[in-house]
A and B are shown apart, each in its own frame.
Chain A
Amino acid sequence: MTGEVAVLGAGMHPWGKWGRGFVEYGTKAARAALADAGLEWSAIQSVVGANTVRCGYPGQVAGATFARALGWQGARVTSVYAACASGARAIDTARAQILAGMADTVLVVGSDAAPKGFFAPAGGERPDDPDWLRFRVLGATNPAYFALWARRRMAMYGDTAEDFARVKVKNAAAGAANPYARYRSPVTAEEVAASPVVADPLRLLDICATSDGAAALVLGSMETARRLGVSRPVRIRAVSSVSPSHPRTALDLPDIATDSAPPGSPASDPFRPSIARAAYEEAGLGPEDLSLAEVYDLSTALELEWYEDLGLCEPGEGAKLLREGATALGGRIPVNPSGGLASFGEAVPAQAIAQVCELTQQLRGQAGERQVAGASAGITVNQGLFGHGSSVVAVR
């Protein structure tokens, strides 16, 4: 174990399509996190911003952008980018600064104003960029990759479209109780089945939307938490960050092909399960110790994949776990009690931070109608483009 840091404050801007700039959303989330921590902005020693992609500087220098918006006060500033894992990388950077003694109080902010429709690569002619190539040569959008995985689950494990719809129904029910969620209405299996196919077998309601939104955390050393009189803070006990092992044989965004695996070569360690395993090892706990999990349900089918990759059940048994009700609110191990990306949509640099905001509320017992009774340990997991995967374990 490398040591713990305390979550002093958590704050969010509601997800939606608000038509305003990401600086405004992020600043509101930051102010909410500061208020929650009971700290003045001037008491923050470091700001870590999770980058959003904008052609121009502000999105790429998110740390400085938020520091400027909150008022220059001399804090250390850092910006990080790791696509969907940006928020987790920002948390990890803040944690490293605290554990290294570089700062006692760090503000982490992620915010985005998302484009409408499919995510697309930046413009220009860039044949050396795998992300550009997959759109150019194949029209392979993000939902296409989600669908390849969904179809493979159907072939390998016998999952059905009805199983996938159950994930949406479950997450929509939880999201209806979350004031920060974009979609706050229950969804029925019939509504999922009636929505248009985007990429067979996935329908519109199987795939998360793009959204505006922001989330922020104030992290501090355990000593700082004591000094502030916080007797039982939520603690971040692990932040994993792993990359795949060669040869990577699972086709994933944004690649057109996997690595080759010569005959007789031993199977490489599959990537996705290694993300949570690293976090469990660092935290000194396992799936049996969890009260809840927040996973990246970019598609309904992908949530089932995460159950297995988190070790909540054996490979191929994700749909069974779901059907038993284990992952619903009130079940043995609720997954996405926040409502997940199904209810929020993607605000890329914010969502991994929002996951930790949800853990914080749950572990403090402040989650209202969606409270997981007696929550004492939670995990988040996410995966970004280009080999980034992160998982955060928080306890109280």
Chain B
Amino acid sequence: MTSKPIQPLASSSKRWVNLICSGVLTLGLAAGCAGTGEKAGSSGENSGENAGAGKPYKLSIALRQVGDIPAKGNEVEQAIEKYTNTELAIQWIPQAAFDDKINVMIASNELPQILKVNYVPNVMNAARNGLFWELGPYLKDYPNLAAQDQRYYDNIKIDGKLFGIPNYRDIGRAAVVYRKDWFDKAGLTLPATMDDWYNVMKAFSESDPDGNGKQDSYGTMLFKNYNAGTQPVITRLAVSIGGVNRWGEDNGKFTPEFKTQPYMDVLKLFRRLYADKLINQDFAVYDVTELDKAMYDGRVGMRLNVSAQNVQSYSVAMKDTIPAAEWDIAPFAGPDGPRIAGEPGNFGFLAIPKSAVKDEAELKRVLAFLDKLMDEPMSTLQMRGIEGKHYEVVDGTKTKFTDFALFQREVKPYRDGLLNIEGYNVPEIDDTPIALKGTKMARDNVQYAVPNPALTLNSPTYNERGVELDLIIRDAETKYIMGQIDDAGFQAEVDKWAKAGGDAVVKEYESSFVELGG
């Protein structure tokens, strides 16, 4: 910063400044004006009547990103476009900020024709406020969609109405995925009681099952958010010994899980494990991806937050690095046999915003697209990939993956985001025995599933402050496990929860239960 005065401009340089200034201005104005007019989503030319034949229908979709973002115009996308006669514009939303991004999209009302959402309070509020088309009355006209188990639809209903098509998932996926070789070597069986769990955890931490000479392995590890979402570790264990799945319902009276004995028993188990250093001490800041890494390094004996089908990818991934690793699965089971926390049966759902799909004719066009996704060729594409590239046909009818890693990279994003379910309109698969076991278990174990009775009930208080209420309990659990608060301290946090709105939630669930004819 020198204090030299600005030189008077010579006439030639004046012209330059003139040019530059007007250039900058024009650019600035152009930038300011761009953006209007090219609003994503609906456009006038999509009138909907030309369903099926004619010009491809322009369809914008927002999906959750799984793995890497697929290249635009890749083979899979082209195949879908060709079969459904559409021109797809897919926006992939990163998983870490998915709900936030959806909230921003809803807040700004800039929505695509198909929007993947989770069954969370904000989305439910948006649906109640008429942001999405109600699909219940139309469902019967679409054979593939109508053919699915009613429970999938019931579990995403909002005030008894259907506002989307679920990304179908098996309800009974909860399973312990474990290192069979570790159990065999130590002469242990899968735990059933809390004492069993303690002993297995102790054995795996102290006996050096991976044989690297260091005490760096764990029976299982916790991570931040260990009890959030649809695969909560504490709840799953509590259910296995007779507890409830998030909420207990008895004669119309509702009790949250953390006021039940089995749940507290599980918390006490982890508190003991933490005190004896048999569980990772930094779990409150430990990321789940770090846990994956530790597992692939052969330091983890059991996974409690995944699903039965994961056993296949773990086996494949560790085949070369740790050949001795042998993975197996079993349902969560207590002293009285298998008892698992039922999942909601979806991986979010696909909603159709009214702001992007203006009239009924266009709605029908979008629904026809979704229905077509479950036709045999499309189901096969989503779940098996492209013949000759990802899979081959063996024994005349069965399919077999030829390049599973390539499938995971190129096809999985579509399989996870769109509509398909194993066993419907898709050829049988010929796979490793453990992979088949995983698929079968996820399907069959629905018989052991304990549902969450409050799943589709309406509580205005929970809608408004659910995140905070959950946070109070989540934090209290973590502090309890870490020994920072005792039973009285935990009780105090539960009282805080009750006062902050928990009591109101209970009351609202109870009346909503009556209303919906519980």
A and B are interacting partners: no
List residues of chain B with CB under 8 Å of any chain A CB: none
